[in-house]
Amino acid sequence: MAGNTFGTLFKLTTFGESHGQAIGGVIDGCPAGLTIDLEEIQNELDKRKPGQSAIVTQRKEDDKVEFLSGIFEGKTTGTSIGFIIKNTNQKSKDYSHIKDVFRPSHADFTYEKKYGIRDYRGGGRSSARETACRVVAGAIAKQFLGKISFHAFTSSVGDLFINKPYQDLDFSLTESTAVRCPDLDVAHKMIEKIKAIRKEGDTIGGTVTCVIKNVPVGLGEPVFDKLHAELGKAMLSINAVKGFEYGSGFCGAKMKGSEHNDIFNVNGSTITNLSGGIQGGISNGMDIYFRVAFKPVATVIQKQDTIDKFGNKVVMEGKGRHDPCVVPRAVPIVEAMAALVIADFMLQNSNSKI
């Protein structure tokens, strides 16, 4: 039971290794008649692609998506949408130095043990390269969702945090810096920090916050498929994610009920929104917001002790062009996964009542 499918009605199935011929996917369940803006999909992909700025990996991959089916004369036809992204860069490198080595805090060891075999080139299937397919599908989900808008941004890098509520941020500034933090003062510090970290040959973690606006009331399918439970699964399925919280999150666990309760306005909206837009696993029409923790990238350009598959101690040193901080490139991935969740629940909610 390999888990390469996400979603119940709006479904994405992906395939592809970092250094195989291509990665790709199949989107099934997208309603027919949706006009597809291909350029907008490519724009989303470009936000994720390597080499886009000075603070991300300098690998050059021209992630160009090709649609093979399911779109006819510019519209979805209701049939499955197949797409591929060719791995143009895949033959250029020698991976023999890591063929038999288990890199610390990578998936080498667990893949080898689980499957008895692994495509070691660039991490194979465990590479975050597969998330490009999620961005493609998420971009289609966004087009399906129309006015529901997704606003993810870098909310911390190491110990540099945005110290404002999201309501005080101008999301139109997110794309104005390479770090994708809409608080520009903080953004500039983050960029300096990442540059410094890179010079050390080290890496740094961070968090992404995402705000979803204009979600209708009623999304989410209790008791197990609660809206925030699926959002949590979606985020935790992204490479390097270590935690998820929504609304008041871990802070809420310190609060009293009398402080935490969101009092209603007469129109059904609430004065505060510690609930994060979700009550009982169902959207209540308020903004949905959540925060996702990313660990520092495991590939450091430093000597590390490790072992090989034969049980020998070895010393390895990361080389190549890796991200010093994964968070800026994770922003479009967080949005894409959120869009897939919301699109899926939109479809599921069609049948909540007669």
For a second copy, the binding residues in 125-154 under the rule CB under 8 A are: 125-126, 130, 144
**Amino acid in position 292:** V
232 part of the interface to a second copy, by CB under 8 A: yes
89 part of the interface to a second copy, by CB under 8 A: no
16 part of the interface to a second copy, by CB under 8 A: yes
Task: Using the Cα atoms of residue 326, residue 206, residue 168 and residue 255 in order, give the sign of their dihedral.
Answer: positive
37 part of the interface to a second copy, by CB under 8 A: no
Which helix H or strand E contains 290, and what residues bound it? strand 288-294
Q: Which stretch binds a second copy (CB under 8 A): 42-50, 52-60, 105-113, 175-183?
A: 105-113
117 part of the interface to a second copy, by CB under 8 A: yes
Closest approach of a second copy to the CB of residue 185, in Å: 19
CA gap 331, 104 in Å, rounded: 25
Which helix H or strand E contains 242, and what residues bound it? strand 241-246
* Nearer residue to a second copy within complex by CB, 184 or 251: 251
119 part of the interface to a second copy, by CB under 8 A: yes
**Which listed residue (99, 114, 188, 319) binds a second copy by CB under 8 A?**
114
Closest approach of a second copy to the CB of residue 324, in Å: 9
60 part of the interface to a second copy, by CB under 8 A: no
Closest approach of a second copy to the CB of residue 81, in Å: 7
229 part of the interface to a second copy, by CB under 8 A: yes
Site string for a second copy, 180-209 (x = CB under 8 A): -----------------x----xxxxxx--
DSSP, residue by residue, 82-128? EEEEE-TTTTS---TTTTTEE-TTSSHHHHHHHHS----GGGGGGSG
Closest approach of a second copy to the CB of residue 172, in Å: 25
92 part of the interface to a second copy, by CB under 8 A: no
**Which listed residue (293, 331, 333, 338) binds a second copy by CB under 8 A?**
293
289 part of the interface to a second copy, by CB under 8 A: no
- Judge contact between 296 and 310, C-beta under 8 A: no
109 part of the interface to a second copy, by CB under 8 A: yes
CA gap 300, 202 in Å, rounded: 5
Alpha carbon 87 to chain centroid, angstroms: 20
Spell out the SS3 assignment of 120-157.
CHHHHHHCHHHHHHHHHHHHHHHHHHCCCEEEEEEEEE
* Nearer residue to a second copy within complex by CB, 9 or 178: 9
Closest CA to 99 of 19, 208, 200, 171: 19
* Nearer residue to a second copy within complex by CB, 176 or 291: 291
Q: Measuring CA to CA, how many Å separate 228 from each of 240, 250, 290?
A: 19, 14, 9
